[in-house]
A and B are shown apart, each in its own frame.
Chain A
Amino acid sequence: MMLELAVNATVTTSTAATGGAAAPSDVVVNLLIFIMATFLGTELIRHVSRLLHTPLMALTNAISSVSMVAALIVMSETSNSTLLILATVGVALACTNIVSGFILVERIVRLFKPAKPKVKPAEAPAK
């Protein structure tokens, strides 16, 4: 029923849609994706080890900087110089986050070591 409505909506409105990328049927699909991803994310994060909450934040921060993709799309499609400047700054900021985020996750996660039975800590590899 819901799907039918969505399909009908596309037929009637997609031609009328102006100035926005999303036609109403896309909106429904996108909302569905958003809701499912949020539920999935909540479940995944609940099971993340409490030891790792700090690297988790660096990781999700870097993942959300996938907005770099949006900035790249704007850069690719525009000829307007204001837009180009805004999007270029966006790419630089998001890319900084991505690079520093992923390096940091690797760096922090490497700090966590299991106990080595009966090995003197002095022998542990110095970082």
Chain B
Amino acid sequence: MIDPNYILALYVVAVVMFILSLRFMSEVKSARWGGRSAALGMAIAVAATLLAYQSNDIAALVGAILVGFVVGTPIALRVPTTALPQRTAMSQAFGSLAVALIGAAEYYDYQPHVNPFTMAVLSAEMILGFLTFMGSCIAFAKLQELIPGKPFVYPGKNFVSLTILGVAGAVGAYLVYSPATTSALPIMALLALAFGFLLVMGIGGADMPTVIAILNSYTGMSAAALGFVLNNKLLIVAGSLDGSSGFVLAVIMSQAMNRSFTNVLFGGVGAKVVKGAPGQQKAEARPVKSFTVEDVATILDNAQSVVIVPGYGMAVAQAQHVVKEATDIMQEHGIDVKYGIHPVAGRMPGHMNVLLAEANVPYDQLWEMDKINPIFPETDVVIVVGANDVTNPAARTNPSSPLFGMPILNVDKAKTVIFIKRSMSPGFSGADNELFYLPNTWMVFGDAKKVLSDLVGALKSK
């Protein structure tokens, strides 16, 4: 039998690797080592645990690990970058279900005598695990468009959801009082699942970056809780690293929308779009000016600097490669091209950067909001591709707008704005985009991919 201290020493090495891996992620240059050092840490942690493996049932062990490799490898290699939000939701579902099931196994192992602290942590851990599992499944279904992305809202929604969560908590507390009542566990699990279902059903598609980050945080928290139950410090550290990561990302996302957590989770923003979209009718009445692709090419001919503002629409239209093609041609014409990326553009944190990086856009051309905003007044042309709400100047000027107070990309300050869009429909918030009616804005109607490839053609012939 191996000395447990050796195993603990190996766990310490694993923890150091995990911490280093997050440090490596602070810069793109060192980021490759981020994934690698964490993977090494994980291999050490698993190997150390296996050193003490006692069971004779090696078949189940080998089988389970094989399943992990056989299922995990193709998922990671085949998922298109546009589908990364879905894959993140799916892996959160896997992770939280694993944690919830292990929690349940621990409970069945300990009962009927579980000390109150351990039971309280177990209850919390299982509630968190099951609700995150169901929440992630719904997030996956919404992102994959298996179900509508609109928030599912009904009167008293928050009251019902919170009551269900409260009852789940009460059942968990009852288990602390009476751990031998094994029948309470499935009831608690079902209630947690129901809460997770209602919680994410009530959240709209454009709030997904925040939701995914919060679910990420919950997965980590439940892993840390499991560490408390098992008195395993490796799990506590790794779980809290994940927990705080999800939390920080969620804070960044909600700050970028000038909204609180509670508002994202319980506000049901975007629900207005369902009820007859007031912005849409207004839009028809006000005049906008539109450009043909040739007009755009002419404007670009006289431009020195261009900023491209991509949004989720670019991902939907799979237009990132043709955006890059258009960029290359503009650069050949001597135009300076940058990309302005809003933190909540897309369906998960950082999604736009990955799409553009995949299209071979060098990462030093990707500018974040705070750095690009001062440049807009000196920019000749801004091209908005598939973004909407994040460019709406009403967020600065109109206190009655649902977007008011949200930090936006100040594209309206540029000399000319070219807005590629399929129709005049409002963005996710339901608010009409004031940008469309400004004297320096020109609309180009059509599918982003088609418009841009026509533009590439027009620029080539110049």
**Taking the complex as formed, is A7 at the interface, i.e. its CB lies under 8 A from any CB of chain B?**
no
Question: How many whole Å from B122's CB to the nearest CB in chain A?
Answer: 9
A60 partner residues in chain B, CB cutoff 8 A? 22, 216, 220, 241-242, 245-246
B residues 1-49 touching A (CB-CB < 8 Å): 14, 18-19, 21-23, 25-28, 31-32, 34-36, 38-39, 41-42, 45-46, 49
A residues 20-41 touching B (CB-CB < 8 Å): 20-22, 24, 26-27, 29-30, 33-34, 37-41
**Taking the complex as formed, is A8 at the interface, i.e. its CB lies under 8 A from any CB of chain B?**
no
Q: Which single residue of chain A is at the shortest CB-CB distance from B84?
A: A54
| The residue from B57, B231, B244, B368 contacting A30, defined by CB atoms under 8 A apart | B231
Q: What is the CA–CA distance of A86 and B98 in the complex, to the nearest angstrom?
A: 9
Q: A57-B88, A63-B38, A67-B235 are in contact. Are A47 and B26 (CB under 8 A)?
A: yes
Please encode chain A, from 6 to 23, with 1 for each CB lying within 8 Å of some chain B CB and 0 for all others.
000000000001111110
Interface size on A, residues (CB 8 A): 92
Question: How many whole Å from B139's CB to the nearest CB in chain A?
Answer: 13
A contact set with B: CB distance below 8 Å? 17-22, 24, 26-27, 29-30, 33-34, 37-42, 44-78, 80, 82-84, 86-116, 121, 124, 127
Please tell me if the beta carbons of A49 and B231 are within 8 angstroms of each other in the complex. no
Q: A61-B219, A96-B94 are in contact. Are A91 and B357 (CB under 8 A)?
A: no
Q: What is the CA–CA distance of A27 and B118 in the complex, to the nearest angstrom?
A: 10
Q: A19-B113, A37-B237, A52-B25 are in contact. Are A96 and B72 (CB under 8 A)?
A: yes
Please tell me if the beta carbons of B348 and A41 are within 8 angstroms of each other in the complex. no
Q: Apart from A54-B348, A63-B241, what 14 extra A-B contacts exist at CB < 8 Å?
A: A27-B117, A50-B343, A50-B368, A54-B351, A55-B350, A57-B350, A60-B220, A63-B238, A65-B94, A69-B234, A70-B226, A74-B105, A92-B63, A104-B79
| The residue from B38, B106, B246, B358 contacting A62, defined by CB atoms under 8 A apart | B38
Question: How many whole Å from A8's CB to the nearest CB in chain B?
Answer: 17
B353 partner residues in chain A, CB cutoff 8 A? 50-54, 112
Please tell me if the beta carbons of A21 and B64 are within 8 angstroms of each other in the complex. no
* 9 interchain residue pairs of minimum CB distance: A95-B68, A53-B350, A20-B118, A99-B72, A41-B244, A105-B35, A64-B242, A115-B362, A53-B349
Question: How many whole Å from B185's CB to the nearest CB in chain A?
Answer: 12
**Size range of the chain B interface in the assembly:** 35 or more
Please tell me if the beta carbons of A104 and B87 are within 8 angstroms of each other in the complex. yes
B45 partner residues in chain A, CB cutoff 8 A? 66, 69
A102 partner residues in chain B, CB cutoff 8 A? 35, 38-39, 42, 76
Residue pairs across A and B with Cβ atoms less than 8 A apart, 19 shown, are A19-B115, A20-B114, A20-B118, A34-B227, A41-B248, A44-B26, A44-B245, A48-B22, A55-B34, A60-B216, A66-B234, A84-B60, A89-B64, A93-B68, A94-B98, A99-B73, A108-B357, A112-B28, A114-B362
Please tell me if the beta carbons of A59 and B34 are within 8 angstroms of each other in the complex. yes
Please tell me if the beta carbons of A76 and B240 are within 8 angstroms of each other in the complex. no
Question: How many whole Å from A127's CB to the nearest CB in chain B?
Answer: 8
Please encode chain B, from 324 to 361, with 1 for each CB lying within 8 Å of some chain A CB and 0 for all others.
10001000000000000101000011110110011010
B residues 221-276 touching A (CB-CB < 8 Å): 223-224, 226-249
Question: How many whole Å from A66's CB to the nearest CB in chain B?
Answer: 4
